[in-house]
Amino acid sequence: MQVAKNLRNYRKECEESLSNEFLRSALDNFAVAYRASRANAFSGFDVDRLIGDVADIKDNTLRHLDELYSQFKNSAEAAGVTVHYARDAAEANAIINRIARETNCKTVVKSKSMTAEETLLNHALEDEGLEVTETDLGEWIIQLRHEGPSHMVMPAIHLSRYQIGDLFSDVTGSKQGDDIEKLVKVARHELRQKFVEADMGITGANFAIADTGTIGLVTNEGNARLVTTLPRVHVALMGIDKLVSTIDDVLKILKILPRNATGQAITSYVTWITGANECAIGTERKKDIHFVVLDNGRREMANDPLFSEVFRCVRCGACANVCPVYRLVGGHKMGHIYIGAIGLILTYFFHGPEKARNLVQNCINCEACKDICAGGIDLPRLIKAVYNRIQDEEGHPLPSLLLGKILKNRKLFHTLLRAAKWAQKPMADNEGFMRHLPMIFFKGHEFKALPTVAEKPFRDRWPGIKPVITTPRCRIGLFSGCLQDFVYPEQMAAAVKLFGDHGVDMSFPMKQSCCGLPVQMMGELNASRDVAIQNLRAFEKEEVDYIVTLCASCASHLKHNYPLLLSGDARLAEKVKRFSSKIIDFSSFVNDVLQVKPEEFAGSGRKATFHSPCHLCRGLDVHDAPRDLMRTSGLDYCEANEEEVCCGFGGTYSAKFPELSAQLLNKKLDNVEATGAELLLTDCPGCIMQLRGGLKKRGSQIKVKHTAEALSERRKKE
């Protein structure tokens, strides 16, 4: 639940979570175990096809929402169910309270429903004097503790067996130990009685099949079966997004939902309910069944060209499972009611900007969620779009407005960067780091050393180092990005040398600017669009085969986000397509296009490891190229644990959430140091800044280099 009044409070709350040792280790173990069990569950499956199926099915629902709803209502009512439509949470709760009154229900048992959490149904029922008992073990635990869920599938993942043992001791009035199996049996006994006594059973629904008016429930414990069988009244509350056409759709979604959620091929139970089933204690031996179909902001989402893909969410919770920030702070901080990446978006639509405002800024943009989403939702992009929308509604804060304004004017931006060289003089040391930072601007940044701006940016060096190629094997344009232009020009220079030696003719269009990702991260979509157009124009006249960049974040932004950013402008469509199709990262270009050979390299087989930038492994789906290059160049590559997990940089993220950034960096550096490597390579200047800064603070001897630098140094001298 989000109660923080402002970003500062929210940061403080996150920081508190960091000191929760149990939570940290539980979520660490989970993150690692989940990856393995998911991979196992999907072995032999074409995952992309399954994701494509879900997207198609949900997109179809979107296009035929009204028809599907009326078909569902007709089929269900023909089979003896009453179907209600609720526009918002309050209306849904009122309908269910009314049903309880009319059917004279006093006690309620519930099985797990995120939608009921969304509407805060329990509170509404209790206010009317009903006794409500959650029967899913995790939900029962958090109900007894008066908490919200901290994970969509495992709501009590933040609690230890000891805490639960104490809780159950209170509840049963007799001492309980910490044996998990016994604690589970306590729940079995305590709750069986509740099932027997309850007048009403409330469930959610994973699917609502229009064709037959059937609902489907996906569960493991078996409580939903009892909830839908024992009480005389059954109410199922479901979002309108749960509608599908036929059982065939459901069987497709069912292939991916449990595998993505928990790494199970299928859950213990999938329950299909059609019509008013037999019930020995019901009127005429029939159960009184009500389906409540909820809008609550879903239609607004559905009608929005940008956000409609959120409809594809099947609530598997996988986006939290892989989120490095969730792993640090847990679901109570990384969500309001819905958790993880999808939670950041849904909170805005279901619970309003007030609850979403701080939360939505806590995305490091590593794309791990996008990579794993069962519906193929571009979650990071939509999170930024929500942020942009909130700022549009409430006014953009000065710093982000300013950055946006500055970036729109390339000359001003570059002048400011050059000026930084003079401003930093009193604080710079002679190893390229800032000796001390003006702490008023950098509170919380003590965990890493920051680099100084280079004496001479790459753009000024370029005319002097541009090689003359008489018979070029190919022609490329260089896109440097800000960091390699102004902070690490030597990385670009190393690449230029390597390319020149391989007969690559190069150009460096001077009018290129920042790729725009930093402003996009800050929710400044207009500025992001303007900068994109500037870069497009800068490269427009270049007749090149590839546009090569040494920065994975720039590359992935140029390649994937530009076409989306500029999709509204028909005149640019063709241009942006041409531009984006030419973008390639350094390692792929050198390994796959230039195909460098071991004979070119010399030197000892130093032990080296790799950090895979988020935007390289997920943004560009590049995995082998940089590692192949390390081996080709004769380095002794040893794999670190979790090489593809974020280093905590995330551009402006590390400035906004330094405490979280520091934790991610620490974990990363522990894994790096454990390899015993003396060299750490990576393909992104942002990651280099983070990793070097952290290692310097640790006093480590490990050298961090861009792959381009390492290769360049190891080339045989002619």
- The correct pick among 31, 137, 292, 550 for binding other proteins (CB under 8 A) is 137
Q: Considering only 117-125, 277-285, 419-427, 678-686, which stretch makes contact with other proteins by CB under 8 A?
A: 277-285
Comparison of 228 and 520: residue with beta carbon closer to other proteins: 228
Query: Rounded distance, CA 216 to CA 234, Å?
Result: 14
Comparison of 24 and 299: residue with beta carbon closer to other proteins: 24
- The dihedral region occupied by 648, where left means phi > 0, alpha psi between -120 and 50, and beta the remainder, is left
Comparison of 169 and 229: residue with beta carbon closer to other proteins: 229
Which stretches of 322-473 are assigned E, i.e. beta strand? none
Comparison of 270 and 382: residue with beta carbon closer to other proteins: 270
Q: Considering only 59-67, 273-281, 453-461, 550-558, which stretch makes contact with other proteins by CB under 8 A?
A: 273-281
Comparison of 190 and 304: residue with beta carbon closer to other proteins: 190
Pairing status of strand 703-706 against strand 679-682: parallel
Tell me which residues in 29-58 interact with other proteins (CB under 8 A).
29-30, 33
Query: 504 and 469 in contact (C-beta within 8 Å)?
Result: yes
Residue 703 neighbours by CB under 8 Å, 6+ apart: 678, 679, 680
Comparison of 224 and 680: residue with beta carbon closer to other proteins: 224
Comparison of 180 and 510: residue with beta carbon closer to other proteins: 180
Query: Rounded distance, CA 482 to CA 458, Å?
Result: 10
Query: 650 and 364 in contact (C-beta within 8 Å)?
Result: yes
CB-CB neighbours of 245 under 10 Å: 18
Using a 10 angstrom Cβ sphere, with 0-12 exposed, 13-18 middle and 19 or more buried, the burial of residue 104 is: exposed
Pairing status of strand 288-294 against strand 546-549: unpaired
Query: Rounded distance, CA 385 to CA 57, Å?
Result: 24
- The correct pick among 31, 152, 156, 341 for binding other proteins (CB under 8 A) is 156
Closest CA to 649 of 613, 683, 682: 613
Comparison of 252 and 559: residue with beta carbon closer to other proteins: 252
Q: Considering only 2-10, 188-196, 293-301, 319-327, which stretch makes contact with other proteins by CB under 8 A?
A: 188-196
Q: CA–CA distance from 148 to each of 119, 134, 154, 224, 338 (Å)?
A: 12, 12, 11, 20, 10
- The correct pick among 141, 345, 390, 403 for binding other proteins (CB under 8 A) is 141
278 binds other proteins (CB under 8 A): yes
Query: Rounded distance, CA 697 to CA 48, Å?
Result: 42
- The correct pick among 32, 90, 281, 510 for binding other proteins (CB under 8 A) is 281
> Vertex 80, ends 75 and 81: CA angle to 5°?
75
709 binds other proteins (CB under 8 A): no
641 binds other proteins (CB under 8 A): no
- The dihedral region occupied by 235, where left means phi > 0, alpha psi between -120 and 50, and beta the remainder, is beta
- The correct pick among 92, 95, 96, 159 for binding other proteins (CB under 8 A) is 159
24 binds other proteins (CB under 8 A): no
Binding string to other proteins for residues 213 to 242, with x set by CB under 8 A, is what?
Answer: xx-----xxxx-xx-xxx------------
Comparison of 162 and 621: residue with beta carbon closer to other proteins: 162
Comparison of 1 and 22: residue with beta carbon closer to other proteins: 22
Comparison of 279 and 565: residue with beta carbon closer to other proteins: 279
Give the helix/strand (H/E) hosting 36: helix 21-41
Comparison of 120 and 247: residue with beta carbon closer to other proteins: 247
Residue with tokens 């928990």: 262
Interface size with other proteins, residues (CB under 8 A): 72
487 binds other proteins (CB under 8 A): no
Least distance from C-beta 172 to other proteins, angstroms?
10
- The correct pick among 74, 104, 193, 526 for binding other proteins (CB under 8 A) is 193
192 binds other proteins (CB under 8 A): yes
Least distance from C-beta 120 to other proteins, angstroms?
21
Least distance from C-beta 228 to other proteins, angstroms?
8
Pairing status of strand 607-611 against strand 636-637: parallel
Amino acid, single-letter form, for residue 382: L
Least distance from C-beta 415 to other proteins, angstroms?
54
Using a 10 angstrom Cβ sphere, with 0-12 exposed, 13-18 middle and 19 or more buried, the burial of residue 197 is: middle
688 binds other proteins (CB under 8 A): no
Query: Rounded distance, CA 531 to CA 561, Å?
Result: 12
Comparison of 113 and 633: residue with beta carbon closer to other proteins: 113
Quote the crossing angle between the two packed helices 47-63 and 247-262, to the nearest 10°: 130
Tell me which residues in 62-121 interact with other proteins (CB under 8 A).
78-80
Q: Considering only 184-192, 394-402, 462-470, 677-685, which stretch makes contact with other proteins by CB under 8 A?
A: 184-192
- The dihedral region occupied by 634, where left means phi > 0, alpha psi between -120 and 50, and beta the remainder, is left
Query: Rounded distance, CA 85 to CA 73, Å?
Result: 10
272 binds other proteins (CB under 8 A): yes
181 binds other proteins (CB under 8 A): yes
| Alpha carbon 325 to its chain's center | 9
265 binds other proteins (CB under 8 A): yes
Least distance from C-beta 275 to other proteins, angstroms?
3
Which 8-state DSSP code applies to residue 101?
A: H
Comparison of 31 and 548: residue with beta carbon closer to other proteins: 31
User: Largest Cα–Cα distance of the chain, in whole Å?
Assistant: 95
270 binds other proteins (CB under 8 A): yes
Which 8-state DSSP code applies to residue 601?
A: B
Q: Considering only 209-217, 599-607, 608-616, 680-688, which stretch makes contact with other proteins by CB under 8 A?
A: 209-217
Query: Rounded distance, CA 51 to CA 384, Å?
Result: 23
- The correct pick among 104, 268, 303, 415 for binding other proteins (CB under 8 A) is 268
Least distance from C-beta 33 to other proteins, angstroms?
7
20 binds other proteins (CB under 8 A): no
Query: Rounded distance, CA 71 to CA 320, Å?
Result: 34
